[in-house]
Amino acid sequence: MARTRCPPLPLLLHLLLFAAAAAAADPAPPSPTPWPERFHAVMFTNLTNYSDASTGPPLRITDLYYDWPRRRNLNLVRHQLSADPLYDVEWNNGTSFYFDSRSCRVERFPVGVLPPWWLSGGGARYLGRRVTGGIDCHVWGKAGFIVYYEEAATGRPVRWNFIDVTGIQQFVMRFEPGVALEDDAQWQAPAYCFPDDDEEEEEEEGKSNDPASSSSSSEEFGDELEVAIRLLRNLAEAAATS
């Protein structure tokens, strides 16, 4: 009976070393870090060179309060030297209220608030590591119109860019996981967001956020925030949950 010959030991060792080197040279790409269920972020947006993105002041600071357990999201936008902030209050039934001290507009979307796994749940393409603002980041693209930067060392969001005619870029200046906005008055849409209801119904509907009784103001804010929210909501269609 013929004996099976084994490869010479040096050749076998060489093959094992080659396989190990190949595996080390091509590691699996990292996965995006899911968002915390609650957080506060301060974001800076500069639209000076992006006239298609906004008809309003190009410099603005946004306080983002994300509250997934209560299925709500608040963007509090402050334009440069403006004492009248713009509120964008979003609810998981797809209704968003955009208001300042004088006017209100109501929008309804087919999806609700982005879930924490909107990026990590699938569909994101890893683009590699890049340095932005001196911060080493992992970078992902999704759906062909957003590029998302995450700090490699901590998983914190750093910035996101929208790949469209607006060229919107938002930079995260501060990120505070676990911080919630507990003041319900900040989430409450004002009475003039409900011009077709009487005063008592307006108060109740504002608290329950029933889109059937909400009507939209004709005034347009012309703000880049609306565009960003529309794009993010499109991303959420595959991952949205109730």
Summarised one tens digit per residue, pLDDT across range 156-209 is 999 998 877 667 889 999 999 999 999 999 999 999 999 875 554 444 445 445
- With pLDDT > 70 as the criterion, what percentage of the chain qualifies? 66
65 belongs to a structural domain: yes
Does the residue 2 lie in any domain?
no
Locate the DSSP E strands across 143-193: 146-151, 157-162, 169-177
Q: Give the confidence band of 217 by pLDDT, cuts at 50, 70, 90.
A: very low
Give the model's pLDDT for residue 46.
80
43 within a domain of the structure (yes/no): yes
pLDDT at 54: 58
Contacts of 16 (CB under 8 A, 6+ apart): none
> What is the pLDDT at residue 104?
95
Task: Please state the domain count of the chain.
Answer: 1
Cα distance between residue 112 and residue 194, in whole Å: 20
Write down the pTM of the prediction: 0.74
Within-domain flag for 209: yes
Q: Is residue 4 part of a domain?
A: no
Instruction: Look at residue 22 and tell me if it is in a domain.
Output: no
Nearest CA to 228 out of 68, 31, 75 is that of 75
Place of tokens 């979307």: 109
Looking at per-residue pLDDT, the higher value among 217 and 225 belongs to 225
Beta bridge partners of 138: 129, 150
In a domain, 19, yes or no: no
Q: Is residue 118 part of a domain?
A: yes
Q: Which residues have CB under 8 Å from 242's CB, separation 6+?
A: 92, 112
Q: Which domain holds residue 229?
A: 38-125+169-236
